Amino acid sequence: MKIALIAHDKKKKDMIELAKKYQNLLNRHELIATGTTGTLLTKETGLPIACYLSGPLGGDQQIGGEIAQGQVGLVIFLRDPMTPQPHEPDISALIRICDVHNIPVATNLGTASLLLSGLNDKLTKC
């Protein structure tokens, strides 16, 4: 499954910890990410990640395009609800396109942990 990983700046530390915790699971999937998130995750975890443009430069839209084409199965998007983002329309569009195509999207750490542990359970039972 292709999994998209995206985190706003104040959530990048949480994303790194999450990726380390679920490293074995993530390793079994194809990973894509917005530019800064992906670069940081690769450096911190060694996971192979295809890095797209940085979010404010169009990375959210690139990932949204893949979701619209049915290529992404899960989105982890750790959003910062306390900081205004210059590309807010792109962020809304990304969440919307997940809803349009019924793609699971976690926008906070609690949901992300639940989704990844659920996926882990499912794979270990197979």
* Cα maximum dimension of the chain: 43
Q: Which residue has the tokens 């404010």?
A: 56
Q: Which of residues 35-74 bind ligand 13P (CB under 6 A)?
A: 35-37, 54-56, 59-60
Q: Is 29 annotated as a binding residue?
A: no
d(CA 80, CA 108): 9
Check the annotation: does 36 bind a ligand: yes
Catalytic residue among 60, 90, 99, 121: 60
Number of residues that bind ligand 13P (CB under 6 A): 12
Q: Pick between residue 84 and residue 121 the one whose CB is nearest to ligand 13P.
A: 84
- Which of the residues 81 through 100 are near ligand 13P (CB under 6 A)? 91
Q: Which of 11, 101, 7 is nearest to 60 (CA)?
A: 7
Name the residue nearer to ligand 13P (CB basis): 19 or 35: 35
60 is catalytic: yes
Which residues fall within 8 angstroms of residue 81, CB to CB, at 6 or more apart? none
Distances (CA, A) of 39 to 5, 16, 42, 74, 126: 11, 11, 5, 19, 32
Token couple for 11: 């959530």
From the list 22-30, 31-39, 65-73, 106-114, the region that binds ligand 13P by CB under 6 A is: 31-39
- Annotation: binding site for substrate: 8, 12, 34-37, 54-55, 87
Residues designated catalytic = 60
Residues near ligand 13P (CB under 6 A):
6, 8, 34-37, 54-56, 59-60, 91
